[in-house]
Amino acid sequence: MALSAREIEKMILEILPGATVEVQDMRGDGSQFAAHVISEEFVGKNRVQQHQMVYKALEGKIGGELHALSLQTSAPK
Amino acid sequence: MTNPVFDRIKNDVNAHDIVLYMKGDRMFPQCGFSATVVEILNYFNVDYQTHNVLQDESLRNGIKEYSDWPTIPQLYVKGEFLGGCDIVREMAANGELVAHFESVGIEPKN
């Protein structure tokens, strides 16, 4: 079962409450997503650590049901 | 627990300034994300070594554990994990990648 953009958003928000999360289904068929996540939790963390936090939220789905997720993360300005 | 693959990875990323773990090789990348990183490295004209994870299942799994990163490609610079395709692309676009290369003594030839 392919994930929906909405489900991905929910999973990220569970780990990063209060984050601004935008997930787009790039082809409309659940094969390729792009996510933009802005979270207070990212303050003081480098990009690798920020992405790792999002990957943790999607535990085990990456590379499986979720082949292609393009990620952009940042701390609030 | 020691993982023999970890020793191999550690040796490789410390023996070469820039190491890319990817699907396919630089002439024939077998995934769009790997191809993007190859293009970026070629654009800056830096020397790099590649490892094709599709030819080695233990490496494919090992590198993900080693870096705690679930996807391929993975770029290492001077032994340090720099990121996957999204991060490398973002850093290339905003000038951070060149600055990082220079800060560790790698001169991009372009």
Domains located in chain B, CATH noted: 4-103 (3.40.30.10)
Lowest mean pLDDT among A55-59, A66-70, B96-100: A66-70
| ipTM of model | 0.85
Closest to B81 (Cβ–Cβ): which among A48, A62, A71?
A: A48
In this predicted structure, what is the pLDDT of residue A59? 82
CB contact under 8 A, A62 and B71: yes
Average pLDDT, rounded, for chain A: 91
* Residue B2 pLDDT greater than 60, yes or no: yes
pLDDT band at residue A1 using 50, 70 and 90 as cut-offs: low
In this predicted structure, what is the pLDDT of residue A64? 73
C-alpha span between B15 and B12 (Å, rounded): 5
* pLDDT, tens only, B71-96: 999 999 999 999 999 999 999 999 99
Residue of A nearest to B91 (CA): A47
Q: Which residues of A touch B85 (CB under 8 A)?
A: 70
Average pLDDT, rounded, for chain B: 95
pLDDT band at residue A39 using 50, 70 and 90 as cut-offs: very high
Q: Which residues of B touch A52 (CB under 8 A)?
A: 68-69
In this predicted structure, what is the pLDDT of residue A8? 93
Q: Once rounded to an integer, what is the mean pLDDT over residues A28-35?
A: 90
- Using a CB–CB cut-off of 8 Å, the residues of B that contact A are 33, 64, 68-71, 81-87, 90
Q: List the 31-60 stretch of A: residues with Cβ below 8 A of B.
A: 47-48, 51-52, 55
What ranges do the domains of chain A cover? 5-74
- Say which CATH topology domain A5-74 has: GMP Synthetase; Chain A, domain 3 (3.30.300)
Lowest mean pLDDT among A13-17, A26-30, B19-23, B58-62: A26-30
Residue of A nearest to B72 (CA): A63
pTM as predicted? 0.91
